[in-house]
């Protein structure tokens, strides 16, 4: 099977990864847990690194941090050490895979999930020191609508809201959009539909969100892409090894590579969802 990212790589093969003028800050939110947000962030980081982008992932779920775990790593230091003044931000950066670095949260630290504005400002000021170290800062925000989550989302250049077709997930995605509207008028909002079974399902879900956001909130949202349901994603999570590394030819990762291309402005057609024998294997594994 052709590598979905091969065309994109050829378009950027001559580009020096350090030539971006400013680090782009992209925050990913969901409104609820269980929609695959962290796995999406981790694999998007891998796909962007394949395109020669230098990526830092901030685990913005500060009280239930798990980005490093998804990468199969255990961080020695965390945001807690930054806030206490024990470590500099450069000291807590955790190298993972493909040149990607993670700024870990601190699992189980309730107080970190409820930072006051002064503490959050301290984190954001420190993040400014990473400007020359990365092209993209991906923030994996926590679930829910807490003020730390909303502050991270509103402070970002771009916001990706990820949801699934299930009605509760869609309702929570709309709730997140509504909360963001109340915080800030101008937002660059993108939607990703995860765990779909056919393209029309993604289109219907997006149309519903788009209509509700425009009619009731006066918000404009754009469809960034969709990801097919893939049993290999669940397998990679259980094994604590990202899908983009364990099974880079998998159906879900092909679509994450496509989304990475959309993030970088390389407008591409969606990859084919027909997988021949792979599709047959996926169907068997689902049962």
| Residue 34 annotated as binding site | yes
Three-state SS across the chain?
Answer: CCCCCHHHHHHHCCCCCCCCCCCEEEEEECCCCCCCHHHHHHHHHHHHHHCCCCEEEEEECCCCCCHHHHCCCCCCCCHHHHHCCCCCHHHHCEECCCCCEEECCCCCCHHHHHCCHHHHHHHHHHHHHHCCCCCEEEEEECCCCCHHHHHHHHCCCEEEEEECCCHHHHHHHHHHHHHHHHHCCCCCEEEEEEEECCHHHHHHHHHHHHHHHHHHHCCCEEEEEEEECCHHHHHHHHCCCCHHHHCCCCHHHHHHHHHHHHHCCCCCCCCCCCCCHHHHHHHHHHC
286 is in an annotated binding site: no
Is 164 annotated as belonging to a binding site?
Answer: no
Residue 214 assigned as binding residue: no
The answer to whether the annotation marks 39 as part of a ligand binding site is yes
Residue 36, marked binder = yes
| Residue list for the binding site for ATP | 32-39
| Residue list for the binding site | 32-39
């Amino acid at each position: 099977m052709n590598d979905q990212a091969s065309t994109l790589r050829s378009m950027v093969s001559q580009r020096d990864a350090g030539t971006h003028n400013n680090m782009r800050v992209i925050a990913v939110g969901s409104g609820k847990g269980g929609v695959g947000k962290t796995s999406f962030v981790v694999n998007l980081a891998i796909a962007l690194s394949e395109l020669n982008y230098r990526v830092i992932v901030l685990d913005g779920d500060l009280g239930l941090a798990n980005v490093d775990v998804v990468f199969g790593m255990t961080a020695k230091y965390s945001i807690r050490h930054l806030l206490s003044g024990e470590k500099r931000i450069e000291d807590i950066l955790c190298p993972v895979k493909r040149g990607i670095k993670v700024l870990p949260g601190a699992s189980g630290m309730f107080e970190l999930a409820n930072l006051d504005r002064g503490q959050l400002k301290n984190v954001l000021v420190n993040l400014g020191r990473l400007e020359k170290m990365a092209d993209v800062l991906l923030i994996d925000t926590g679930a829910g609508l807490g003020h730390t989550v909303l502050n991270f989302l509103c402070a970002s250049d771009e916001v990706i809201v990820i949801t699934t077709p299930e009605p509760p997930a869609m309702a929570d995605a709309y709730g997140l959009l509504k909360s963001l509207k109340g915080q800030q008028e101008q937002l660059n909002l993108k939607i990703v539909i995860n765990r779909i079974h056919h393209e029309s399902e993604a289109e219907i879900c997006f149309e519903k969100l788009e209509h509700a956001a425009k009619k009731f909130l006066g918000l404009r949202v754009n469809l960034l892409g969709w990801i097919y349901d893939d049993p290999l994603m669940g397998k990679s999570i259980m094994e604590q090894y990202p899908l983009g590394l364990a099974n880079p030819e998998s159906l879900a990762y092909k679509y994450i590579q496509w989304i990475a291309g959309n993030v970088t402005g390389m407008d591409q057609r969606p990859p084919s969802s027909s997988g021949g024998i792979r599709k047959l294997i996926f169907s068997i594994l689902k049962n």
